[in-house]
Structure 1
Amino acid sequence: MIPRSISAELQESAREYPVVTLHGPRQSGKTTLVRMVFPDKPYFSLEDPDIHMAAEEDPRGFLARMEDGGILDEIQRLPILLSYIQGIVDEKNRPGMFILTGSHQPRLQEAISQTLAGRTAILTLLPFSLEELRNYAKEWNPYDLIVRGFFPRVHEQGLKAGRFYSGYLQTYVERDVRAMIQLKDLNLFQQFLKLIAGRVGQTVNYTSLSNDVGVSGTTIKNWISVLKASYVLYELPPYFENIRKRVVKSPKIYFTDIGLIAYLLGIETPEQAERDPLRGGLYENLVIMEILKVLTNRGQRPDLHFYRDAQGIEVDLIVNEDRTLYPIEIKSAKTFTPGIAKGIERFKSLLPDRVGNGTVFYDGDRDFDFKGNRVRNPLRVEDPYGVITGG
């Protein structure tokens, strides 16, 4: 098993809180991780019909089998257990009793906020990060990563990416969508997925998507909401605080795992990915997700944005760290040109007292600084977030 960077944060949280909740997309490795980090705790999957029935029919009796707590996998399948867990941890008042995992964020967060507020640490496990894979293989071609994605089974078991994502889409994505909303036409939903994959890194235009798919704008919003809830999509909000210009206020959409985009677009080889017209958006998705993973693996709540205004000033990513804004440009080009940093420089002029040094991430071989901005290849630096913040 490839070690996970979040393991230390998971252990520390269990020393401080009676409950630790680990959520994230299906197949990101949650079950494997918690069973490895807490090998002595009894494990129960609430997706197992027999276990689910036993827990539902007699919650007290079921939890009584875990005198010192245990691991409850996919807790959102039976959120009523959280009320009983609250009573147990309040009575025993011991850290690290229950380890919970879940895949549906809103459903899980709503239940936790009602029952376990202040009693649980909440962590997010996404698919592998570059840092984790770097211990597995020293050199990576970004376009190989775009095709293979970052799900653990593809790398640890050597699965073919196309076969994995075909099964992942049918078994998890479509099933979860059906469980959360009434999906009347699966073909239209599949068409929508391919369309949104083709618009990766673009601002969401509900009207355009609605017209192209042939469903209402409300349906498009519901589908996006469900895919965000299942950690299939990630929404990057715009930054417009203290900005006096007309700015874009629609979010951008990215996929939590880049390999699913490649599968939906029919990209099967690194060579195809490198030649694809969407190469820039794919590379941008890869880098933004890497920064997100670095933060979630440290137990931090990411504060990420992008910026675009009516005058054409655009910054691909803005990291808000301790009230300092760090602008980042992401380009798939192998050659740096001064024009790449133009958006960073213009954004600095808007908020000179709040904007820190900028970063350009590109696919070139040279690492250097340009006008106080760092120019780096994100696949070759050990800590891309440290590059951004100067840490």
Structure 2
Amino acid sequence: MSYKYVKRTIEPQLCRAAKEFPAVVLTGPRQSGKTTVIKEVFGHDYKYVSMELPDIRIIAENDPRGFLAEFSGRVIFDEIQYCPVLLPYIKELIDSDRQTKGRFILTGSQNLMLTENINESLAGRAAILKLYPFSLREYSHAGSSPFPWEQGYDPEQKKVPEENLWQFLLRGLYPEIATDTHRSSSLWHSSYISTYIERDVRLIKHVSDLGNFQVFLQALAIRNGQLLNLSEISRDIGVAVNTVKNWLSVLEATFQIVILRPYFENAGKRIVKSPKVYFTDIGTLCSLTGISDPVHLQKGPMGGSVFETCVIMELVKTFSSRAEPPKIYFWRTSAGDEVDIVVIHENKLIPIEIKLSSTPKISMARGINVLKEALPDKCLNGYVVYPGSLRLPLGSGTTAVPLRAF
């Protein structure tokens, strides 16, 4: 492999799934390390076949049964979305021998295409897991260590890289660029975006105008972490609202963005229902917004949004690596009171505020206190995550926690 392998926290879940299901499907964005981790975990016992290769794909499409007959043992089909015609025939083989577990390992970077075909062909027969780019925990070799509200949490265990955080975030957390500091991160991300648009987006029927799609990507990046206003984006880039909706679904389906939805209960009619959008990788976000300097990243207008994205994606990546659906929301009222993140934990709410300031203040917990007053029976202790160094109480059951200890 071209870069040093960093152990992924999803590995135990992959092994467990292969012991319990006939097939395992690993999805995630292109270049998140799916092929590498699959080969690391299963490569010694499985034959590997890339469905991205045109000659292999033609053979499989022309004679699916004959193609599969060549693989009587365990097999990895990488990038299966390029050859969905195989899925019904894989189902046929599974149904002929339901007792054999872990026979097929499938990977794919386009969840929109995969989910439809897998739901039709492999429902109940496949475990579906997601692999994102590195979490800070993975890169710092902290594993899937607990969050502050979880059992076994150790505030002394550092979960961020020792080097400059902002320089690191600017490079991004895709394995290839994160582990090879000699490569140009700006060139890597610009190439990644071009390849993504040319190869992945072309395969999805909603996108015909790739030039406007690039403009849409940049317009969305500028609004990273803001309430999503489809009409505003539609007006600014000159395309229909329905087109914006379709393109947004393309980004979500290919794991380029995470959509954070508002938390509300039946009684909360004042809660704003518009979602927020966060880019999966900060390096990609910086490339789209033209940020190339770590000082500009930290001190500029995108600093707060980027730091918020860093914390949110740490939650999403960690929960996903545990094979747990990330139950993460934000809370906001029409009066403007807001909590950046609400995590549902054991049917209770963990409110989290994210602040860029290195000096925690009691006022930072205001939104958390408002939420606790609104839902006193559901809220547990809250946290303010900030880029400082000390763990400090902020009163009323809220604690300021440095990112490195979060």
TM-score, reference length from structure 1: 0.94
**For the aligned residues, what is the CA RMSD?**
1.5
Shift of 1:193: 1.3
Task: Kindly indicate whether residue 255 of structure 2 is the aligned counterpart of residue 251 of structure 1.
Answer: no
The corresponding residue for 1:141 is: 164
CA–CA separation in structure 1 for the residues paired with 2:286 and 2:169: 7
Letter matched to residue 179 of structure 2: E
The corresponding residue for 1:116 is: 122
The corresponding residue for 2:103 is: 97
The corresponding residue for 2:60 is: 55
Q: Give the one of 84, 92, 95 matched to 2:89.
A: 84
Shift of 1:182: 5.3
Work out whether residues 112 and 250 of structure 2, in 8 Å CA contact, stay in contact via their aligned partners in 1.
no
Work out whether residues 255 and 280 of structure 2, in 8 Å CA contact, stay in contact via their aligned partners in 1.
yes
Shift of 1:183: 3.8
Task: Kindly indicate whether residue 34 of structure 2 is the aligned counterpart of residue 30 of structure 1.
Answer: yes
Q: Give the one of 358, 361, 376 matched to 1:334.
A: 358
Task: Kindly indicate whether residue 400 of structure 2 is the aligned counterpart of residue 375 of structure 1.
Answer: yes
CA–CA separation in structure 1 for the residues paired with 2:200 and 2:236: 24
CA–CA separation in structure 2 for the residues paired with 1:219 and 1:100: 31
Structure 1: gaps of 5 or more residues: 385-391
Task: Kindly indicate whether residue 305 of structure 2 is the aligned counterpart of residue 305 of structure 1.
Answer: no
Aligned length: 381
Letter matched to residue 120 of structure 2: Q
Work out whether residues 243 and 350 of structure 1, in 8 Å CA contact, stay in contact via their aligned partners in 2.
no
The corresponding residue for 2:153 is: none
Work out whether residues 26 and 108 of structure 2, in 8 Å CA contact, stay in contact via their aligned partners in 1.
yes
TM-score, reference length from structure 2: 0.91
SS in structure 1 at match of 2:84? coil
Work out whether residues 245 and 310 of structure 1, in 8 Å CA contact, stay in contact via their aligned partners in 2.
no
Work out whether residues 136 and 161 of structure 2, in 8 Å CA contact, stay in contact via their aligned partners in 1.
no
Shift of 1:61: 1.2
CA–CA separation in structure 1 for the residues paired with 2:336 and 2:209: 39
- Distance verdict in 2 for CA 1:148–1:243, change over 3 Å: farther
SS in structure 1 at match of 2:116? helix
Task: Kindly indicate whether residue 283 of structure 2 is the aligned counterpart of residue 277 of structure 1.
Answer: no
Cα-to-partner distance string for 1:284-325 (whole Å, 9 max, x where unaligned): 011100110010010111111111111221010111122111
Task: Kindly indicate whether residue 234 of structure 2 is the aligned counterpart of residue 210 of structure 1.
Answer: yes
Cα-to-partner distance string for 1:325-373 (whole Å, 9 max, x where unaligned): 1111011111111111100110011111111111110011111232222
CA–CA separation in structure 2 for the residues paired with 1:338 and 1:83: 58
Q: Give the one of 54, 71, 75 matched to 1:66.
A: 71
Work out whether residues 360 and 374 of structure 1, in 8 Å CA contact, stay in contact via their aligned partners in 2.
yes
- Distance verdict in 2 for CA 1:174–1:374, change over 3 Å: farther
Letter matched to residue 22 of structure 1: L
The corresponding residue for 2:192 is: 168
Task: Kindly indicate whether residue 36 of structure 2 is the aligned counterpart of residue 11 of structure 1.
Answer: no
CA–CA separation in structure 1 for the residues paired with 2:268 and 2:213: 39
- Distance verdict in 2 for CA 1:37–1:229, change over 3 Å: same
The corresponding residue for 1:387 is: none
The corresponding residue for 1:155 is: 178
CA–CA separation in structure 1 for the residues paired with 2:388 and 2:370: 24
CA–CA separation in structure 2 for the residues paired with 1:5 and 1:377: 22
CA–CA separation in structure 2 for the residues paired with 1:311 and 1:288: 24
Task: Kindly indicate whether residue 132 of structure 2 is the aligned counterpart of residue 126 of structure 1.
Answer: yes
Shift of 1:109: 1.1
Task: Kindly indicate whether residue 51 of structure 2 is the aligned counterpart of residue 46 of structure 1.
Answer: yes
Cα-to-partner distance string for 1:131-176 (whole Å, 9 max, x where unaligned): 1111398414331132111000002233221011011011123432
Work out whether residues 282 and 310 of structure 2, in 8 Å CA contact, stay in contact via their aligned partners in 1.
yes
Cα-to-partner distance string for 1:67-101 (whole Å, 9 max, x where unaligned): 12200011112222111111212222211110000
Structure 2: gaps of 5 or more residues: 143-159
- Distance verdict in 2 for CA 1:229–1:122, change over 3 Å: same
The corresponding residue for 2:156 is: none
SS in structure 2 at match of 1:167? helix
Q: Which moves more between the two structures, 367-376 or 111-120? A: 367-376
